C-alpha cells in the first residue's frame, strides 16, 4: 500500500511527542496501550484519539504483529527514522548479532530443504528473508559505528571538562 508522503509527514509533525512515546515504549502495543499514549501525548491539532489511532494504522506507523492480530508494533522504517531524527542510535549488541546468525542458520536450513524439494516459491521467500536479514545487520552495524563516532566526538569536545583521573583508562 502506497502512503502519501505529504500526509505521512504532516501527521508526524503534528504528533512528534506521540511518536517519541511510541518509540520509547518499544515492543508490542495493544489498542488500549496505544490509546493511553495518544491521550497522554495529544497532537498539535485537535482531534479525537480514535482518529489518531486510525491514522497510525493507515499510515503504517503501527503495524500488526501478524495479520489479524490485536497487537501492534512500530514499523521498522519509522522506528529507524525516529532514531535518526532524535539521534538515539542503538548500537548492536552481541546478543542481537547472535540472534541474526541463528536466524540466518535457520533460514539456510529451510532454503536447503526448499531446494531439495524444488519448491520455487519457498526458495524465493528464503532468499528474500536472507537478503532482508543481511540488510538489517548492515544497518545495525552502521548505526553502531555512528553511535561510537558520535560518542568519541562528544568526548573530544568535552574532554577539557574531564579531569586527568577521569579521562584515564585503567586496565
Quickly state the pLDDT bin for 170 (edges 50, 70, 90).
Answer: very low
Q: Do 89 and 30 touch, CB atoms closer than 8 A?
A: no
Q: Give CA separation, 171 vs 77, 114, 146, 163, in Å.
A: 40, 51, 26, 18
pLDDT per residue over 107-140, tens digit each? 999 999 999 999 999 998 888 888 888 888 887 7
Q: Is the dihedral of CA 42, 45, 50, 54 positive or negative?
A: negative
Q: Is the pLDDT of residue 171 over 50?
A: no
Q: Is the pLDDT of residue 169 over 60?
A: no
**Cα separation of 129 and 38, whole Å?**
33
Quickly state the pLDDT bin for 142 (edges 50, 70, 90).
Answer: confident
pLDDT per residue over 17-61, tens digit each? 999 899 888 788 999 999 999 999 988 888 899 999 999 999 999
Angle in degrees, CA 11, 25, 17, rounded to 5: 35
Longest dimension (CA), the chain: 66
Q: Do 111 and 123 touch, CB atoms closer than 8 A?
A: yes
For residue 5, the tally of other CB atoms under 10 A from its CB is 8
pTM for the whole structure: 0.53
pLDDT per residue over 66-93, tens digit each? 888 889 999 988 988 887 777 655 677 7
Sequence-distant (≥ 6) Cβ neighbours of residue 122 within 8 angstroms: 110, 111, 113, 114
Q: What pLDDT shows up at residue 58? A: 94
Q: Give CA separation, 60 vs 4, 44, 72, 125, 156, in Å.
A: 11, 20, 10, 22, 40
Amino acid at each position: 500500500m502506497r502512503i502519501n508522503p505529504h500526509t505521512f509527514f504532516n501527521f508526524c509533525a503534528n504528533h512528534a511527542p506521540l511518536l517519541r512515546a511510541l518509540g520509547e515504549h518499544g515492543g508490542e502495543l495493544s489498542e488500549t496501550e496505544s490509546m493511553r499514549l495518544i491521550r497522554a501525548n495529544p497532537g498539535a491539532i485537535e482531534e479525537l484519539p480514535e482518529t489518531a489511532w486510525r491514522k497510525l494504522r493507515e499510515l503504517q506507523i503501527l503495524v500488526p504483529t501478524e495479520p489479524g492480530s490485536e497487537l501492534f508494533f512500530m514499523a521498522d522504517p519509522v522506528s529507524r527514522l525516529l532514531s535518526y531524527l532524535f539521534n538515539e542510535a542503538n548500537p548492536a549488541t552481541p546478543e542481537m548479532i547472535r540472534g541474526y546468525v541463528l536466524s540466518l542458520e535457520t533460514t539456510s536450513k529451510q532454503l536447503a530443504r526448499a531446494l531439495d524439494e524444488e519448491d520455487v516459491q519457498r526458495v524465493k521467500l528464503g532468499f528474500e528473508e536472507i537478503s532482508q536479514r543481511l540488510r538489517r545487520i548492515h544497518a545495525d552495524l552502521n548505526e553502531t559505528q555512528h553511535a561510537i563516532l558520535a560518542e568519541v566526538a562528544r568526548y573530544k569536545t568535552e574532554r577539557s571538562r574531564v579531569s586527568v583521573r577521569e579521562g584515564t583508562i585503567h586496565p
